[in-house]
Amino acid sequence: MSVEAEGAGAQKSGPERHGKRGRAVEMAGAEVRVVHTYDDIEEYDNELPNWWLYTLFGTMVFALGYFFWYEVLRAGPSQQQSYEASRVEDRRRDAERARRLGAMNDDGLRTLSHDAATVEQGRTLYVQNCVACHRADGGGLIGPNLTDNQWIHGGEPLRVFRTVSEGVVAKGMPAWGAQLGPDRTMSVVAYLLTLRNTNVAGGKAAQGEVYAGN
């Protein structure tokens, strides 16, 4: 006899064979316990299928491993860390796009100033080329203080770019555009944008007009 036929047969004779609650009965060759009956609907206490149990145990093992990896060993990144990483990645991509579009505008330069890699390149260029006159921390020496909110030649990002690129040769500020090229000039300006309003200690007195924007 096929399994279906056997099952169907057992079902047919079901009501007579296990009417009362909690009685052990025989069905299709396996023992079935009826734990609850209501309106002739019977609830059986069957064994859980293995695939189900293995899935359950699998999730437990996974949860333990997950807990140890992230909470005890802290080997994986925390939510905060992955968030920060994705922010860094977003900013890098924005900066890349800004560069591709030329970034020769205020917003493009601001975007670059939020990208860690660009700012780091700018800092390196600043250390190599600018510290002699603007001091290592931007506080100013021969050249003006770059960490205040006042600008002789304008504080809009594009104005700063123009000043650095074309220089103020008559006043002793070299033109950097030809030497650094537009890409690296943008990086050094991006770095300058991170310096302003930091007002380092012992900096030169502010000169020029206040620029309140960012």
What is the closest distance, in whole angstroms, from the C-beta atom of residue 213 to ligand HEC in the complex? 14
Nearest residue (CB) to ligand HEC, 169 versus 201: 169
Yes or no: say if 25 and 18 are a contact pair by the CB < 8 Å rule: yes
Nearest residue (CB) to ligand HEC, 139 versus 143: 143
Q: How many CA atoms lie within 13 A of 97 on its CB side?
A: 10
Nearest residue (CB) to ligand HEC, 18 versus 134: 134
What is the closest distance, in whole angstroms, from the C-beta atom of residue 109 to ligand HEC in the complex? 12
What is the closest distance, in whole angstroms, from the C-beta atom of residue 171 to ligand HEC in the complex? 4
**What is d(CA 27, CA 39) in angstroms, rounded to the nearest whole number?**
20
Q: What is the dihedral of CA 153, 159, 163, 168, to 10 degrees?
A: -40
**What is d(CA 154, CA 210) in angstroms, rounded to the nearest whole number?**
8
Nearest residue (CB) to ligand HEC, 47 versus 183: 183
Yes or no: say if 109 and 157 are a contact pair by the CB < 8 Å rule: yes
What is the closest distance, in whole angstroms, from the C-beta atom of residue 108 to ligand HEC in the complex? 17
Nearest residue (CB) to ligand HEC, 94 versus 166: 166
Site residues (CB under 6 A) for ligand HEC? 129-130, 132-134, 142-144, 151-153, 160, 163-164, 168, 171-174, 176, 188, 192, 208
What is the closest distance, in whole angstroms, from the C-beta atom of residue 64 to ligand HEC in the complex? 55
Distances (CA, A) of 157 to 34, 86, 92, 95, 150: 79, 26, 19, 15, 13
Q: What is the dihedral of CA 130, 131, 136, 138, to 10 degrees?
A: -50
Count CB neighbours of 92 within 10 A: 15
Residue in 143, 121, 137 with CA at minimum distance from that of residue 189: 121
Nearest residue (CB) to ligand HEC, 136 versus 142: 142
What is the closest distance, in whole angstroms, from the C-beta atom of residue 181 to ligand HEC in the complex? 12
Yes or no: say if 104 and 158 are a contact pair by the CB < 8 Å rule: yes
